[in-house]
Amino acid sequence: MGLVLLARTDGPAGFTKRVVLKTLHPHLAADQSFLDVFLVEARVCAALSHPNVAQVFELVEDGGEYFLAMEYVRGRSLREVVKARGPLGAAVSLSIVSHVLRALQHAHEARDERGAALHVLHRDVSPENVLLSWDGAVKLVDFGLAGVRGRRAGKEGYIAPEVLDGLKPSVASDLYSTAVVLVECLTGRAAGPAPSLEGVSSSLQAVVTRALEPDPSKRYATAASFADALDEVARAAGDHVTPTVLAQVLVETFDTADDDEAETTPPRRTAVLTGVADVAPAPVSTRRRLVPGLIALVLSTVAVMAVSRREVPAPLAEDPPPVRAEARAAAPVATPLPVTAAPPAPPPSSAPPVAGPPPSARPSLTSKPGTLLLRVIPWANVDVDGKAMGPTPLAPLSLSPGPHHLRLTNPELGVTTTRDVIVKSGSEQQLRVDLLDVLGAQP
């Protein structure tokens, strides 16, 4: 749907701050429906100010293109943590989800400057949209679907049953999605109604069962009451999880070297909700236009974290140009063009002709597999040459030299697309596919 870029603003006396710039693709900005969703997100985020909600600093329009300047959160998504670590244990799980629920309570109660209720629903509570920072903070991000109307929103497996049946989302449906996230933290896998929670207390089992009730009227009435129930279970068990403990979870699970490098150099590996890019510091003229006063950056954040090195390749070969509002080319690194493997050397002239395919079609005896990195927005189930590889994000794929056929499917969006690539021996290539663009191009 758009680009999310990591940038840096510099000011007097050595002042510097990393921010996230989020914008729509130009062709989508011309579509009023996409623009409306983007602007609703900006208005919603501007109305929210809570320790567990990522902050947005500013909305800027420049020549018909809109930018959101947002908080940069250094850490990992809850999806990455559970994937790498498995079950998190009751104490840590209850703490994380309680923070998420406090953020939801703030959003559900949000009012505009005149005091009128905004009726904000997140509509996409999932592990991807919960961030854990290296200092132990828990942030709920991506309210991009909060203002979507007229169609079902959210990720498969986390959508409440009444929404699947066609009813309008509600506070209760946000709480159902959060309960599924809690089950995933406890078990290491997503679960439907009435999950089997072995090893947890009966009181916690009762809380989860109520939160996952098929009848929304039987769930907790508010996010705060759900959070209070979790906090009570934790107190009864004598569990008290501090930010230091949550930070230690990340330290024990991930190598922080890449993130530490990000303090002195532009990050090469940055996972965002809708895209990936390397960005140089913005020029002063652009910074002033994007963030008047420079130090006035105080808006609401979208999910940005360094990705574990197992999922993202080494630094890219080229640095993109500096980010400018007028420079539309500041986009994710383009996918390298397919390059066929070099043909093997011809046999000596004295050797008789060899039957079989022509030399250009025969792989070299010394050829090595190539590496293909898939960057799919927002995500997709991947098949390579008819073999299921699983959902993205995937570790870089090791493929034999030559042509390969990829099939990308996102059942939530109802989108399937294919790509043909030619892998070069020993090479590292990237393939970036924005399924929201594919969806927008469909008649």
DSSP letters of 162-176? HHHTTPPP-HHHHHH
DSSP letters of 378-442? S--EEEETTEEEEESS-PPEEE-SEEEEEEEEETTTTEEEEEEEEEPTT-EEEEEEEHHHHHHH-
User: Are the beta carbons of 121 and 108 closer than 8 angstroms?
Assistant: yes
User: Are the beta carbons of 72 and 21 closer than 8 angstroms?
Assistant: no
* Residue from 10, 36, 112, 124 carrying the catalytic annotation: 124
The two three-digit tokens of residue 156, written as one number? 């498969």
List strand residue ranges (DSSP E) for 11-106, in order: 16-24, 56-62, 65-71, 75-77
Query: Which residues neighbour 260 within 8 Å (Cβ) at sequence distance 6 or greater?
Result: none
Q: Could you give the CA distance from residue 162 to residue 131 in angstroms, rounded to a whole number?
A: 27
- Would you call 31 a catalytic residue per the annotation? no
Q: Could you give the CA distance from residue 51 to residue 29 in angstroms, rounded to a whole number?
A: 31
Q: Could you give the CA distance from residue 299 to residue 425 in angstroms, rounded to a whole number?
A: 46
The two three-digit tokens of residue 339, written as one number? 């390059």
Cα radius of gyration (the chain): 24
Q: Could you give the CA distance from residue 134 to residue 249 in angstroms, rounded to a whole number?
A: 9
Residue positions counted in the chain = 443
| Amino acid making up residue 180 | V
DSSP letters of 257-284? HHHHHTTTS--S--EESS-----PPPPH
The two three-digit tokens of residue 348, written as one number? 């000596």
Q: Could you give the CA distance from residue 175 to residue 51 in angstroms, rounded to a whole number?
A: 19
| Amino acid making up residue 220 | Y
- Closest by Cα among 218, 133, 219 to 174: 219
- Work out the burial of residue 302: count CB atoms within 10 Å of its CB; fewer than 13 is exposed, 13-18 middle, 19 or more buried: buried
| Amino acid making up residue 153 | A
User: Are the beta carbons of 230 and 101 closer than 8 angstroms?
Assistant: yes
Which of the residues are catalytic?
124
